[in-house]
Chains A and B, each alone.
Chain A
Amino acid sequence: MRDSFVNTVIDLMRHDDKVALITADLGFGIFNKIVEEFPGRFINVGVAEQSMIGTATGMGLEGWTVFAYSIGNFSTLRCLEQIRNDAAYHEVNVNVVASGGGFTYGALGMSHHATEDLSILRALPGVTVVAPCDAYESAEATRALAARPGVGYLRIEKDVPIATKDAGAFTIGSARRLRQGRDVCLIGSGGIVSEAMKAADRLADEGVSCSVVSMHTLSPLDEALVLQVAGEHRAIVTVEENTIHGGLGGAVAEILAESSARVSFKRVGLPGVYSSIVGDQDYLRQKYGVDSEAIYAAAKLLLS
């Protein structure tokens, strides 16, 4: 996902001399090509995220399309007010990028777990929030956010074991159906969609027909798709590597609660705790109940 983001940025920079990349001193090795080819448009502000977003806003006000990169929570929570007051309120084309969504940085510990970002960023008016599920969506989202006016948030992860290119075109705000079924619809955001696919395989083995949807854009959310799948299935399970409060599950619940849909519903996400156990991403997903097993169990519960 990260490589496809970087390669897309390089391509954008080659075609538009008003595209720049700012980092708060992270991205070891991955920006070498950019530094080499566009030294003036690669700006490392040092370990200073507030400065990064403020500077990006200043450039955005001058007509630049800026990608502001860091990892985990550094590019979001550390400088949240700059994203809100400076970038978003002034509607500049600044795209905040966080590498390492969810438990990507597993054993590095709680400071590096981006597990509330989707909920928090989703609350900001005018911020397009995108969590791609694979390298294809990551590249497409990068391109789409550059073309879209206003502030974007792009949450990327390390490599995932799925490739969804064949599932249809990527458009901001339009969820992608990765798998079509009848009984239960698994709606996921981000790399965790790969776990939903695993759960769907297992459910299918047991005769349960599963849909899987990549809800890559959390804001603006594809409300029509949610209502549509609510009408087509007996149950909906949302899946996110993010707190269960106010993220994808919360957004879908809001839509369903205000509709006349009659569908069983369950959120799979992180419980409202900070991680304190050490482990890699797979281990932590299992420990905190967002792996394929937890998704499978949630679907079974709703269908029982």
Chain B
Amino acid sequence: MPIQDLPNRAWATSEQLAAYVRLHALQMTHLGRSSHVGSAFSIADILAVLYADVLDVSSDDPKRQNRDRFILSKGHSGAALYATLAECGFMAVDYLKNHYQNGSVLSGHISHKGVPGVELSTGSLGHGLSVGAGMALSAKLKGEKHRVFVLMSDGECDEGSVWEALLLASHRRLDNLVAVIDYNKLQSLASVQDTLALEPFNAKLTAFGWTVHEVDGHDHSSLREAFSPESKVAGKPTVVLAHTTKGKGVSFMENKVLWHYRTAQGEEYENAVAELKAKIPAS
């Protein structure tokens, strides 16, 4: 069942956008025989809410000075961001099929080179929050009002550099910075709990001086509320601890480390497409 016949930019709601992002990411990783489809599904709702309803960004002027900044620090989920950007008009949806292909600009880990709308190339974990803090600090120094969002993975928080940035952002009172943690509780080889436990995670983040909003990372209205400027506390950076499910949207992929790496082919691919298509919300 080909999915190329999906109508381009046919979404009206963040829920519909999320469904398209998942379908694209599935097809992109299928065509490229690439990994990380489970990680892409984990953040599809977060990206959809951000790009449909929260971020002040425009494909007409991707570098507009007063735009909100978005950094995907978990660069391995690049397929999901490329798909979101395409659905938001930053590139042709048709170009997504070049993901992971020779000669393309859509690398497996997110890259800004030649891709409008990507603020930062990442792929090595633990880089994005420091860069986001620098952007937020710059906005403070210049008196600019936009916000900076950084989406990280939970496994990424094993990196010491994340905690360096957490310290800096609260010390510098960067209340224009919003970190989002995709807390699906699975990392590269096993669960977060068995690998390097983050709990009590909320308490740690709170102790580092951040305002923490714990939400269901697949519930769009909760995400919208957490991302709202009204949810911040003046003088404190915000972290949205989004409880997610790796592989969300395809029953046999959900909560399985295997789908950090495995690429859907053959019958698996057909079944996944069917499941996702059946879940596209009606307009």
A interface residues with partner B (beta carbon < 8 Å): 20, 40-41, 43, 45-46, 48, 50-51, 53-64, 81-82, 85-86, 89-90
Are B112 and A58 in contact, CB atoms less than 8 angstroms apart?
no
Output the least CB separation between B76 and chain A (Å). Answer: 14
CA A46 to CA B123, docked complex, whole Å: 25
Q: Which residues from B are CB-within-8-Å of A58?
A: 130-138
Output the least CB separation between A23 and chain B (Å). Answer: 13
Q: Does B168 contact A (CB under 8 A)?
A: yes
Q: Does B127 contact A (CB under 8 A)?
A: yes
CA A54 to CA B122, docked complex, whole Å: 12
Output the least CB separation between B53 and chain A (Å). Answer: 25
CA A182 to CA B133, docked complex, whole Å: 55
- Shortest Cβ distance from B142 into A: residue: A62
- Count the B residues whose beta carbon is within 8 Å of the partner chain — how many? 29
Are B127 and A46 in contact, CB atoms less than 8 angstroms apart?
no
Main secondary structure of the interface of A (DSSP, over half): helix
Q: What would 28 A/B residue contacts be, using CB atoms closer than 8 Å?
A: A20-B141, A40-B141, A45-B164, A46-B167, A46-B168, A48-B164, A51-B133, A51-B167, A51-B168, A54-B133, A54-B165, A55-B130, A55-B131, A55-B137, A56-B134, A58-B130, A58-B131, A58-B137, A58-B138, A59-B135, A61-B135, A62-B142, A81-B124, A82-B130, A85-B127, A86-B120, A86-B130, A86-B131
Output the least CB separation between A174 and chain B (Å). Answer: 30
Q: Which residues from A are CB-within-8-Å of B266?
A: none
- Shortest Cβ distance from A82 into B: residue: B127
Name, among B133, B134, B138, the residue most crowded by chain A CB atoms within 10 Å (CB to CB): B134
- The verdict on A62 contacting B121 (CB below 8 Å), with A41-B141, A50-B126, A55-B130 known, is no
Are B139 and A45 in contact, CB atoms less than 8 angstroms apart?
no
Output the least CB separation between A202 and chain B (Å). Answer: 49
Q: Which residues from A are CB-within-8-Å of B134?
A: 54-62
Q: Does B119 contact A (CB under 8 A)?
A: yes
Output the least CB separation between A92 and chain B (Å). Answer: 10
Are A85 and B133 in contact, CB atoms less than 8 angstroms apart?
no
Are B127 and A59 in contact, CB atoms less than 8 angstroms apart?
no
- Shortest Cβ distance from B136 into A: residue: A58
Name, among B129, B133, B135, B138, the residue most crowded by chain A CB atoms within 10 Å (CB to CB): B138
Are B138 and A89 in contact, CB atoms less than 8 angstroms apart?
no
Q: Which residues from B are CB-within-8-Å of A51?
A: 130, 133, 161, 164-165, 167-168
CA A221 to CA B120, docked complex, whole Å: 30
Q: Which residues from B are CB-within-8-Å of A61?
A: 119-120, 131, 134-135
Contact code string B149-168 (vs A, CB < 8 Å = 1, else 0):
00000000000110011011
Closest 5 CB pairs of A and B: A58-B134, A54-B130, A51-B164, A62-B138, A55-B134
CA A219 to CA B167, docked complex, whole Å: 35
- Shortest Cβ distance from A61 into B: residue: B135
B168 in complex: contacting residue of A55, A85, A90, CB < 8 Å = A55
Q: Which residues from A are CB-within-8-Å of B127?
A: 54, 81-82, 85-86
CA A45 to CA B170, docked complex, whole Å: 11
CA A81 to CA B125, docked complex, whole Å: 11
Q: Which residues from A are CB-within-8-Å of B142?
A: 62
